[in-house]
Amino acid sequence: MAHGHKSDEKVVFVGDSRVKKNNHPNIPPDYTSFPGKSEAFIPNFLLKEWMVGCVVLVGFLVWTIAEPAPLGYPADPTNAAFIPMPDWYFLFLYQFLKYPYVSQDYIVLGTMGVPGVMFGGLLLAPFLDTGKERRFYRRPIASSLMILSLIATVYLTVISWDHYQHQLEITNTIPEHHIREEKAREAAAKGEEAPSTTKKPETAAVAIVEADDPAHKLMEQSKCLTCHAADMKGNPPQIPALRGIGDVLSKEEIVATVTNGNGNMPAFKDSLSAEQIDQIATWLSKQKAAAE
């Protein structure tokens, strides 16, 4: 029986278990006979790595404190004005799918064809590039394909970002998380609580004053109410309600806002005459909660 305590047994087990009794001293191996200045991973190299890791971690912490993670306003599926934007590492694909021959009728080529070949090639690189040579400058085909793909990816990402910035500019949009942060900062400067983003301000109680005024019709035609809603309740906090706007803004301020725009609000000086703007502003300035 292998589990006895006879000293001439070649293999001795612990008790009746299958664990072999171990008499080897617990000495880490020596790497000095290895070529070059090899050193042990544990503890020599790992200790140095941990020191670098700590520096990286502190840097990372400072970054997260200096730059808070962005958060916009709650998802609103009816918000038609929002410019969708994926995370930056998907931008190259997002931009790629905007080009002709890889979109619309050729979308299959854009979603499956080209990315399939590129990522498939990358996945199977060891089986496509089977030569023994490892140095990149002796593998011109593999290296140049990779460098070309890199340039293309960077180019597409930059173009996509530029395009987004341009879109923000022409639609006069400030990204929501910036607006939100700015509002919170203003509130903090005044010593107030940050404005709530989850509850819409109660506007239902305020009635529309003189709803049969011709300015009401004009506002519908000039697309004011496309954003500010047909019932003039807007979509707070991004788009303010126009009911009760007379309590917030004076007639002159309304004229200025409609003429020149403000934040997300486009300027209407090209599409409306000064008289029309004045007509609208006069009516809007009458929109006060306590008018009756």
Partner 1 sequence: MFKSVYNWIDERLDITPLWRDVADHEVPEHVNPAHHFSAFVYCFGGLTFFITVIQILSGMFLTMYYVPDILNAYASVDYLNHKVAFGGIVRGMHHFGASLVIVMMFLHTLRVFFTGSYKAPREMNWVVGMLIFFIMLGLGFTGYLLPWDNKAYFATKVGVQIAESVPYIGPYIGQFLYGGDIVGAQTLTRFFAIHVFFLPGALLAMLAAHFLMIRKQGISGPL
Candidates 165-173, 176-184, 274-282, 284-292 — which segment interacts with partner 1 by CB under 8 A? 176-184
For partner 1, the closer of residues 52 and 230 by Cβ is 52
Name residues contacting partner 1, limited to 12-31 (CB under 8 A): 14, 17, 19-22, 26, 28-29, 31
Instruction: Count CB neighbours of 260 within 10 A.
Output: 12
Sign (positive/negative) of CA torsion 202, 206, 211, 215?
negative
User: Does residue 188 touch partner 1 according to CB under 8 A?
Assistant: no
172 contributes a contact to partner 1 by CB under 8 A? no
Among residues 122 and 274, whose Cβ is nearest to partner 1?
122
Selected range binding partner 1 among 79-87, 158-166, 200-208, 223-231, rule: CB under 8 A: 79-87
Near partner 1 by CB under 8 A: residue from 5, 10, 11, 35 = 35
Select 48 or 166, whichever has its Cβ closest to partner 1.
48
Query: Cα dist. 82→5, 40, 41, 173, 174 in Å?
Result: 79, 55, 51, 9, 11
Residue 175 tokens read as 């990204």
d(CA 128, CA 119): 13
In the range 220-279, which residues lie near partner 1 by CB under 8 A? none
Q: Is 276 helix (H, G, I), strand (E, B) or coil?
A: helix
Q: Which is nearer to partner 1, 61 or 207 (CB)?
A: 61
Using CB under 8 A as the binding rule, whether residue 37 contacts partner 1 is answered as yes
Residues 82 to 141 in contact with partner 1, rule: CB under 8 A: 82-90, 93-94, 97, 107-108, 110-112, 119, 122-127, 129-136, 139
Number of residues that bind partner 1 (CB under 8 A): 88
- Contact assessment for residue 46 and residue 53, using Cβ atoms and an 8 Å cutoff: no
Q: Give the position of tokens 């819409």.
A: 200
What does DSSP assign to residue 176? H
**For 262, which DSSP code?**
B
Binders in 190-209 for partner 1, by CB under 8 A: 194, 197-198
* CA pair distance 115, 92, nearest whole angstrom: 11
Tell me how many degrees the CA angle 106-112-117 measures, rounded to the nearest 5: 115
Residue 44 touches partner 1, criterion: CB under 8 A: yes
* Torsion angles phi and psi, residue 15, rounded to 5: 60, -135
> Of 4, 7, 36, 205, which one interacts with partner 1 (CB under 8 A)?
36
- Report the nearest approach of partner 1 to the CB of residue 207 (Å): 30
